[in-house]
Amino acid sequence: MNFVDIILKKKAGLPLTDEEIHLFAEGAATGSVPDYQISALLMAICFQGMDARETTTLTMEMMHSGDEVDLSDIDGVCVDKHSTGGVGDTTTLVLVPLVAACGAHVAKLSGRGLGHTGGTLDKLESIPGCSINISEADFIRQIKTIGCAVIGQTQNLCPADKALYALRDVTGTVGCIPLIASSIVSKKLASGAGAIVLDVKTGSGALMHTLEDSVKLAEAMVAIGQQAGKPIYALVTGMDQPLGTHVGNALEVKEAIDILSGQAKGDLLSVSLELGSRMLVAGGQADSVEEGKEKMLAALESGAGLRKLEEMIAAQGGNPAVCRDTSLLPQAPVLIPVPAPASGYVSGMDTTAIGYCTQHMGAGRALKTDVIDPAVGLVMQVRLGDYVEAGQPLAMLHLRSEQQAKEAISAMQAAVRLSDVKPAPLPLVYAYVSADKTVYADGYGPAK
């Protein structure tokens, strides 16, 4: 089969056969098709799209291109959760122990941060001694023993996706819904979970900035799950401001511990309850979302969620004492406030810019080879709709040195918009997407 013919076929807007998609994925995984031809087909897909069958076929081909985790030895349904990425998004460290404390098995393979978004693995590694490199046998054993584990992906998980993503990143084809959907779901299916809950972000700090595109992505991934025989449920949640108040690796671990110990609440907890309750339903531990939330709140109040996080940290070689004394986490030596340049209501935030601000401080990576500083970051002092006086802190910077402060202060002042008019409140959840329907928050559905 001539690969140029496949490129020309998709360029003309025609659907590819299963055999042609197999050649595409295999060629990417093995290097048997040159990068320039793979890139040409990626661009054709970006312009012409893929239908539901093509997208599902590509997903399954990428899933089968490498290792697949077998969780069949674990009783019941193992559940997983995935976020499309955001700022201050620490839901995994809140909901995984809470969901496990409620009796579900949570098998979570996570990634590292890149660009403006944080990575769960980097957050876990900010806990002294905590390892995310665990063998598949130990991963399964840990889930059987304590009900949950959060580790890194194996090197040979979905090699076709790794190759395609590397090319998408340098060819301007990242923002293509069929390619995004197949990339995410292939890794989730290869991870072995029996049911998956997706958190698709929308807004200024999200991969998809518009609600329309975010819902399209959520619906595409749910449809793949339906065709693959794997239950996938998605929520479209807001990322027009950092989800939590803490941004930075050890700082986000601290906020998760503060929530699990009952010392903090807010949007991070609310979204965690929305996602986690659906994981409990999918895992057979709750008959309804309402019952799932009640169980999670009971685990929160009793301290069972915090104890489960301690167990998970200890099982992965970390110091569980951080759950009782967060000062044992890495601490930045310099704390400097970001003063509001004027008085007014917080009317908007460039959440991506806030993420990049912490990256430049050392909390994230511009390149995969960059070494992060687990202690640095920032703590937001304001939320959308708050009124601030000139000079009042917008955020508290946690820095390695005072020399970093000037640039970070300037970036944060530019990222937080002030106005004389108080903005209307935004929903935490914009849409709920299941295999049979999409339900929007009031006032946010498509125009009729």
User: Where in the chain are the domains?
Assistant: 3-63, 78-157+168-325+431-439, 330-419
Question: With pLDDT > 90 as the criterion, what percentage of the chain qualifies?
Answer: 86
Question: With pLDDT > 70 as the criterion, what percentage of the chain qualifies?
Answer: 99
Out of 39, 110, 182, 183, the active site residue is 183
**Catalytic-residue membership of 64:** no
pLDDT score at 116: 77
CATH number of the domain located at residue range(s) 78-157+168-325+431-439 in this protein: 3.40.1030.10
pLDDT of 156 higher than 90: no
**Catalytic-residue membership of 187:** yes
- Which residues, in sequence order, are CB contacts of 403 under 8 Å at separation 6+? none
pLDDT score at 112: 77
pLDDT score at 419: 97
392-433 per-position pLDDT tens digit: 999 999 999 999 999 999 999 999 999 999 999 999 999 999
**Catalytic-residue membership of 183:** yes
What distance in Å separates the CA atoms of residue 289 and residue 277, rounded to the nearest whole number? 5
Out of 81, 108, 187, 188, the active site residue is 187
**Catalytic-residue membership of 82:** yes
Out of 10, 22, 82, 105, the active site residue is 82
**Catalytic-residue membership of 398:** no
3-63 folds as 1.20.970
Mean pLDDT, to the nearest integer, of 292-306? 98
Out of 80, 122, 161, 199, the active site residue is 161
Strands, sheet with 232-238, edge to edge from the N-terminal-most edge strand = 148-152, 105-110, 78-83, 195-202, 232-238, 429-433, 438-440
pLDDT score at 201: 96
pLDDT score at 448: 61
Confidence of residue 154 (pLDDT cuts 50, 70, 90): confident
What distance in Å separates the CA atoms of residue 273 and residue 121, rounded to the nearest whole number? 21
pLDDT of 114 higher than 70: no
CATH number of the domain located at residue range(s) 330-419 in this protein: 3.90.1170.30
Mean pLDDT, to the nearest integer, of 362-386? 91
Given a contact cutoff of 8 angstroms between Cβ atoms, the answer to whether 27 and 66 are in contact is: no
Mean pLDDT, to the nearest integer, of 364-389? 91
